[in-house]
């Protein structure tokens, strides 16, 4: 009997998420249906009743559902499945890195699972040197030596914990390391960053009024920039003539892939905004959305903005970003918004332009040419705008076919012409068709 109890105890000691993958079937418990906005990863003896609790209360006061630990764990819950569920459900992860953090296999296992969810991770470095984490030195190195000597956990898990700790040290976060640092201000800043991230994920993102053929187009695009599900390159270029649907496609891709990245930004109409002298505003927008940085002023120069972007990207080398830069017509715009050498290789940048040569000039190797919509999708899109339904109204079949043929598979033309004849009789349709064909010839 004693042997059985001892064996069970050893298994419990080794529990810290030896299986790090998110569970396929959520464990049924009183928390299994509860969703959290934020998970706070921390070592209890270091910060539980002080900094972690202060941050938890600050989030709670703003109506943000945060998971701290025992406050959300009810009697009868199994600790390991409960924590896994909380991490997987949280949209934002906060890691409080304290001096003795690495001594806790639970903290390290949580951190590894946090990285696997690919959600936004916000580090808070509390009286610990970044070099100790990034290089696994001093007390951090001692903690890992103890894990290895005790032999409670597989070497592959310990190695993964080391890598995750080094990765989190490379993410831009918040620091509380001196007597003059203000915990209240730091907690307030973190709450603001969390709120912004939650709002960004909740805002409904309309790709197009009528999403026709985008799933097929997205699959075709994937076949060009992925091999066996793996990215060929970090930066992908999409090119095509005006009205070919580049912006609609990139909106669809942005929305579809958003949850896979820790941060994202979408910069549309770059060509027009550059012509208006608003390139520095786009630089500020990129920094605000990727890093939660509050920049209310314009940079004094494009060069200053580029330097800030490069610095913050290098500071967050382990963060995976999704960046859309839409409708560029000058390499200067890409240089200002995209310091390529500072990007994490696992990030994804999608650039759209009318000019393929610009992509070549910028060194973008993976280039996708927009295709014409096929006849079926063209007819559906036109009918949605002409009749507010996907099929043709009886008696208009020949006119619809004529418009579809004239639009030559260009989504913008199908939308505009369909909208122009909406609610009109056949006589107006014929006049508009004649006028449209005449415009095409000029």
- Residue 223 included in any domain: yes
- Is the distance from CB of 421 to CB of 428 less than 8 angstroms? yes
Q: 208 in a domain, yes or no? A: no
- Structure confidence at residue 204 as a pLDDT band (50, 70, 90): low
Note whether 380 and 354 are same-domain residues: no
Which residues are within 8 A (CB) of 208 and not within 5 positions of it... i.e. 6 or more apart? Answer: 214, 248, 251, 252
For 194-213, the DSSP string reads HHHHHHHHHS-----SS--S
User: In the 3-class helix/strand/coil scheme, how is 224-274 assigned residue by residue?
Assistant: HHEECCEECCCEEEEECCCCCCHHHHHHHHHHHHHHHCCEEEEECCHHHHH
* Same domain assignment for residues 386 and 355: no
Confidence band of 2 (pLDDT split at 50, 70, 90): very low
Integer Cα distance of 253 and 9 in angstroms: 48
| Most confident listed range (195-199, 225-229, 257-261, 437-441) | 437-441
Q: Are residues 301 and 230 in the same domain?
A: yes
232 pLDDT band, cuts 50/70/90, is: confident
Asked whether residue 209 is assigned to any structural domain, the reply reads no
Domain end, chosen from 200, 225, 247, is at 200
Give yes or no: residues 130 and 172 share one domain: yes
Same domain, 176 and 261: no
Tell whether the model's pLDDT for residue 75 goes beyond 50. no
Flag whether pLDDT at 236 surpasses 70: yes
Predicted confidence band of residue 21 (pLDDT cuts 50, 70, 90): very low
Please tell me the total count of domains within the chain.
3
Residue 205 lies in a domain: no
From 311, 338, 369, the end of a domain falls on: 369
**Any idea what the CATH number is for the domain that residue 35 is in?**
3.40.50.10140
Q: Is residue 336 part of a domain?
A: yes
With beta carbons less than 8 A apart as the criterion, state whether 383 and 392 touch. yes
Higher pLDDT, 5 or 132: 132
**Highest-confidence segment of 64-73, 193-202, 323-332:** 323-332
For residue 344, the domain's CATH number is: 3.40.50.300
- The reply to whether 315 and 343 lie within a common domain is yes
Q: What is the pLDDT of residues 339-395, one digit of tens each?
A: 877 788 888 999 999 999 999 999 999 999 999 999 999 999 999 999 999 999 999
Residues 363 and 385 reside in one and the same domain: no
**C-alpha to C-alpha distance for 16 and 110, rounded to whole angstroms:** 8
**Nearest to residue 230, comparing CAs of 368, 366, 370, 371?**
366
Q: Rounded to 5 degrees, what angle do the CA atoms 385, 247, 268 make?
A: 125
Largest CA distance in the chain: 93
Shared domain check, 35 and 183: yes
Of 336, 369, 402, which marks where a domain is finished?
369
- What pLDDT score was predicted for residue 230? 74
Shared domain check, 173 and 97 = yes
Q: What domain range includes position 404?
A: 375-441
Same domain? For 163 and 298 the reply is no
pLDDT at 72 over 60: no
**Structural domain includes residue 177:** yes
- Residue 95's beta-bridge partner residues? 41, 123
Q: Look at residue 313 and tell me if it is in a domain.
A: yes
Do 412 and 286 share a structural domain? no
206 part of a folded domain = no
Q: What pLDDT is stored for residue 16 in this prediction? A: 58
Q: What is the chain's percent helix, strand, coil content, to nearest 5?
A: 55, 10, 35
Return the percentage of the chain with pLDDT > 90, whole number: 59
Among 130-134, 234-238, 262-266, 388-392, the range scoring the smallest mean pLDDT is 262-266
Same domain, 427 and 315: no
């Amino acid at each position: 009997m004693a042997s059985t109890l001892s064996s069970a105890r050893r298994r419990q000691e080794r529990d810290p998420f030896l299986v790090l993958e998110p569970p396929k079937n959520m464990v049924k418990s009183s928390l299994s249906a509860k969703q959290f906005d934020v998970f706070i990863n921390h070592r209890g003896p270091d910060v539980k009743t002080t900094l972690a609790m202060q941050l938890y209360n600050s989030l709670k006061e703003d109506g943000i559902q945060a998971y701290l630990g025992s406050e959300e764990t009810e009697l009868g819950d199994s600790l390991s499945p409960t924590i896994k569920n909380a991490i997987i459900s949280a949209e934002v992860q906060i890691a409080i890195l304290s001096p003795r953090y690495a001594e806790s296999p639970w903290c390290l296992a949580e951190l590894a699972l946090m990285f696997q969810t690919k959600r936004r991770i916000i580090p808070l470095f509390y009286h610990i040197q970044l070099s100790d984490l990034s290089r696994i030195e001093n007390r951090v190195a001692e903690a890992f030596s103890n894990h290895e000597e005790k032999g409670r956990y597989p070497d592959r898990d310990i190695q993964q914990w080391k890598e995750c700790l080094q990765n989190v040290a490379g993410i831009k976060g918040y620091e509380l390391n001196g007597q003059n640092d203000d915990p209240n201000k730091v907690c307030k800043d973190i709450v603001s960053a969390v709120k912004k991230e939650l709002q960004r994920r909740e805002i409904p993102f309309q790709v197009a009024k009528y999403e026709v053929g985008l799933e097929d187009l997205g699959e075709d695009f994937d076949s060009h920039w992925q091999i066996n599900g793996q990215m060929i390159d970090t930066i992908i270029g999409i090119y095509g003539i005006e009205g070919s649907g580049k912006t609609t496609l990139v909106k669809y891709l942005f929305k579809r892939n958003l949850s896979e990245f820790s941060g994202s930004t979408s910069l549309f109409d770059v060509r027009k905004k550059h012509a208006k002298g608003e390139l520095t505003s786009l630089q500020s927008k990129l920094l605000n959305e990727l890093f939660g940085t509050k920049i209310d002023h314009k940079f004094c120069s494009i060069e200053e903005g580029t330097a800030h972007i490069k610095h913050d990207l290098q500071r967050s080398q382990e963060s995976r970003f999704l960046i859309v830069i839409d409708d560029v017509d000058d390499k200067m715009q890409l240089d200002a918004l995209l310091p390529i050498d500072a990007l994490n290789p696992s990030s994804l940048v999608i650039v759209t332009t009318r000019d393929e040569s610009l992509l070549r000039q910028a060194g973008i190797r993976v280039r996708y040419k927009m295709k014409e919509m096929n006849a079926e999708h063209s007819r559906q899109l036109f009918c949605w705008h002409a009749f507010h339904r996907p099929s043709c109204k009886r008696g208009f079949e020949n006119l619809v076919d004529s418009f579809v043929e004239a639009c030559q598979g260009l989504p913008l033309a199908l939308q505009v012409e369909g909208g122009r004849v909406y609610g009109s009789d056949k006589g107006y349709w014929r006049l508009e068709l004649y006028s449209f064909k005449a415009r095409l010839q000029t």
